[in-house]
Amino acid sequence: MSEGGRKVVIVPCSGIGKTYGTVSREAAYEVTEDLRPTDTQLVALSLLVLGDEDARAAVAGRPAVTIDGCKLACAARMVEESGGTVARDFAVLDAYRRHRQFKPQGIAELNDGGHELAHALAEEIAAAVDDLSRNGGEDA
């Protein structure tokens, strides 16, 4: 776990109705539920947008990893506007550029390529969580 028992906050895109938004959320779920459940905490972007006090408290004073589905970077922007610090930011489009063999399609249900892309992105995020945990929340 991160230094002092602090979890790394994972904030994925809320791009509902967008394939890259779905990939973002699937990657976040894999990291927080399967790959690094004791080291991470999922915070819904929608709660930050609404100004939810618990969500704002979760991002305050802890390293945050954001996963954005498009160039608007809503997750990164809202973490900063909510008083948090983005320690690492990931963009689904950048992950797709690194893994062109996984062409994501679908929204409510991703195709196999979308699931593979989400898994590849989740592995990258898990490595970043490990780096942040080793370095006490400082970007490696």
| Alpha-carbon span 116 to 111, nearest angstrom | 9
pLDDT value of position 16: 85
Is residue 139 one of the residues assigned to a domain? no
Is residue 30 one of the residues assigned to a domain? yes
Q: What is the mean pLDDT of residues 65-79?
A: 96
Is residue 57 one of the residues assigned to a domain? yes
Q: What is the mean pLDDT of residues 63-75?
A: 96
Instruction: Find residue 11's DSSP bridge partners.
Output: 66
If one counts the domains in the chain, the total is: 1
Which residues form the domain of 32?
3-134
CATH code (residue 46): 3.40.50
Q: How are beta strands 85-91 and 63-68 bridged, if at all?
A: parallel
The string of DSSP letters for 27-38 reads HHHIIIIIISTT
Q: Which uninterrupted H or E stretch holds 57?
A: helix 53-59
Is residue 140 one of the residues assigned to a domain? no
Q: What is the mean pLDDT of residues 61-86?
A: 95
pLDDT value of position 18: 94
